[in-house]
């Protein structure tokens, strides 16, 4: 079967209809040439020549065809798998058998040596870019939960009892140097290491908020304060 030919016909048909998004008609933006293969365009700009508007079912079929056109591309398998797991009532849902097949192909093409990132690590520059992008992705910024949502969250937590053992585990896994955002501190005079600013504040018996200001440079530290963060 000529999957590329079928894909081309699908795109031509959608383009010829000069589709426009509206409140009454639902379409999904799709990159004609996949971004992983150098395709350009932003899905928010539906006038871009590499962007086409497809119905949910057409979008699913398009990615199904792309997986067959590029069978050795982990990116294509991942895109199709992600599409099958978006929680939208309007999204086209494949059959259980097809879903299972897509899942197995996704696993086979994205784990171990088949993963394009296998054996590699992000450079410091890449880590910084990822961090800055994540910090700017505040999807709930400026929003508040409705009273109905608050009530649902409250009910979901009612009756739950956390054991002392679990509480202690949580405390140990999130305190001091074990905290996900903890940065080690070093005394430049004695080379003594501390796992976090919290540990340092307990050691020198000064409030953590004060230590944090000293380390951040927002307050002038005293002469005896010979500590600085180690940025990994």
Question: What confidence tens digit (pLDDT) does each residue in 161-191 have?
Answer: 888 888 777 766 666 555 656 778 888 888 8
Alpha helical stretches, state H, 25-140: 56-69, 74-83, 96-110, 124-136
What pLDDT is stored for residue 180 in this prediction?
57
Predicted TM-score (pTM) of this structure: 0.48
The structure tokens listed for 128 are 């910084």
Residue found under tokens 């009612």: 158
Task: Choose the weakest-confidence range: 65-79, 164-178, 190-204.
Answer: 164-178
What SS3 class is residue 227?
A: strand
pLDDT tens digits, residue range 77-103? 888 888 877 766 666 677 777 777 777
The structure tokens listed for 85 are 């797991």
What pLDDT is stored for residue 162 in this prediction?
81
Residues above pLDDT 90, as percent of the chain: 11
Q: Would you say residue 1 has pLDDT above 70?
A: yes
Of residues 141 and 33, which shows the higher confidence score?
33
The structure tokens listed for 4 are 């590329």
Phi, psi dihedrals of residue 15, rounded to the nearest 5°: -65, -40
- Residues with Cβ within 8 Å of residue 74, at least 6 apart in sequence: 109, 110, 114, 115, 116
Mean pLDDT of 103-129: 74
- Give the gyration radius of the chain's Cα atoms: 26
Mean pLDDT of 129-136: 74
What pLDDT is stored for residue 176 in this prediction?
59
Residue found under tokens 């589709």: 19
Distance CA 230, CA 169 (A): 26
Mean pLDDT computed over every residue of the chain: 82
- Contact predicate 148/155, CB 8 Å: no
- Residues with Cβ within 8 Å of residue 135, at least 6 apart in sequence: none
Q: Where are the domains of the chain?
A: 3-114, 176-229
């Amino acid at each position: 079967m000529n999957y590329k030919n079928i894909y081309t016909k699908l795109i031509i048909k959608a383009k010829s209809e000069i589709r426009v998004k509206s409140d009454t008609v639902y379409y999904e933006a799709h990159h004609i040439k996949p971004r992983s293969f150098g395709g350009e365009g932003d899905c928010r700009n539906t006038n871009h020549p590499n962007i086409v508007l497809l119905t949910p079912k057409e979008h699913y079929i398009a990615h199904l065809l792309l997986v067959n056109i590029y069978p050795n591309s982990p990116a294509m398998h991942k895109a199709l798998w992600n599409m099958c797991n978006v929680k939208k009532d309007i999204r086209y849902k494949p059959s259980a058998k097809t879903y299972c097949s897509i899942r197995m192909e996704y696993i086979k093409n994205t784990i171990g040596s088949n993963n394009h990132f296998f054996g590699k690590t992000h450079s410091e520059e890449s880590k910084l870019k990822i961090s800055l992008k994540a910090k700017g992705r505040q999807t709930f910024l400026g929003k508040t939960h409705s009273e109905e949502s608050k009530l649902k969250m409250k009910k979901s937590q009612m009756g739950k009892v956390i054991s002392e053992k679990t509480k202690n585990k949580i405390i140990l896994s999130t305190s001091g140097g074990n905290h996900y955002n903890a940065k080690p501190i070093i005394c430049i005079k004695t080379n003594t290491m501390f796992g976090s600013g919290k540990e340092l504040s307990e050691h020198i018996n000064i409030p953590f908020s004060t230590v944090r200001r000293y380390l951040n440079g927002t307050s002038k530290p005293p002469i005896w304060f010979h500590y600085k963060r180690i940025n990994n």
